[in-house]
Amino acid sequence: MSPPMTYREALREALRDALQRDARVFLMGEDVGRYGGSYAVSKGLLEAFGPERIRDTPLSELGFVGAGIGAALGGMRPIVEVMTVNFSLLALDPLMNTAAALRHMSGGQFSVPLVVRMATGAGRQLAAQHSHSLEGWYAHIPGLKILAPATVEDARGMLWPALQDPDPVLIFEHAQLYNQEGEPGDWQQVDICSAKVRRAGRDLTLIAYGGTLGKALKAAEQLAREGIESEVIDLRVLRPLDDATLMASVGKTRRALVVDEGWRSGSLAAEIITRIIEQAFFELDAPPSRVCSAEVPIPYARHLEEAALPQVSTIVAAAHELCRGA
């Protein structure tokens, strides 16, 4: 059994492994070199691999994401780190209009084997320009694959298969997970295609991903003490969604609750609920429900930030509402 490591260390080991395996792989982004990364994920890699493969960039997401796309088209396997998802909007044009569309627009002649990593999520009192969960926006775009590793095992195992994908892959790392400890487990068997059942149950399906998975699992533990056995699904892959795993679980429990740190309006949670209604309507004993962030820019004050985000207590309350009358 592998020794425990933090989510941060797992990401670093994944980077080190990829750099050692393939000479075409390089890392680029703000402060990834001498500073060791904004979240210390790339600490020590500059000394190990040199400035040609660990490249500090100017403060221009539009510029260095575009450079990563060009490198991918030129035969390299770039890993681009964007400091926070809010800043990735500065690079939305090359990501959406070039990286995601080029295979289609070239009639299959070109692909963009690019990996973009970025921190997402709130809970650290960094206010509205550093705290939003926008991965659902990117999951709306055909041509992109969207990953959200929530465990140490997935943090360690998802990067290499992402680099083998001929099309662009965006990896969203919830910033509150970096210090989380766990075992990397059988990381070499991690896939980037399917959701995973993290807890089996019979009464209710809790669907979560990234930073909401831990809260969903804690809520499931609390509900179990009250006699409600929840099945917890970790989406892991936000595009394409693993409908089969979701429908199999909902078909068993007959109730679904989605936990999504994105805003409620136009959310990933809304898409998941719609798919459940489309594919499993007659299996349901109650309307699907969701717990999302409040429709406000994430506040700075701790008590307001906590009030704006999904919490264990709000998940439990929503589960009670779903199971009422059972």
Per-residue pLDDT tens over the stretch 125-165: 899 999 999 999 999 999 999 999 999 999 999 999 999 99
What CA–CA distance (Å, rounded) separates 17 from 13? 6
Confirm or reject CATH 3.50.50.100 for domain 5-189, answering yes or no.
Answer: no
- What is the model's pLDDT at position 1? 65
Catalytic residues: 61, 130
pLDDT bin (cut points 50, 70, 90) of residue 2 is confident
pLDDT for the residue numbered 325: 58
119: its two tokens: 């921190």
What's residue 255's pLDDT?
98
Q: Residues 138, 239: contact at Cβ < 8 Å?
A: yes
Q: What is the pLDDT of residues 281-296, one digit of tens each?
A: 999 999 999 999 999 9
In this predicted model, what pLDDT tens digit does every residue of 42-82 receive, in sequence order? 999 999 999 999 999 999 999 999 999 999 999 999 999 99
Asked whether this chain's domains 5-189 and 196-323 adopt the same fold, the reply is yes
Q: What is the pLDDT of residue 326?
A: 56
Q: What's this model's pTM, rounded to 2 decimal places?
A: 0.97
324 pLDDT tier (thresholds 50, 70, 90): confident
Segments making up each domain of the chain, as ranges: 5-189, 196-323
Contact call for residues 195 and 245 (beta carbons, < 8 A):
yes
10 Å CB burial of residue 252 (0-12, 13-18, 19+) is middle
Q: What is the fold, at CATH topology level, of the domain defined by 196-323?
A: Rossmann fold (3.40.50)
pLDDT of residue 182: 95
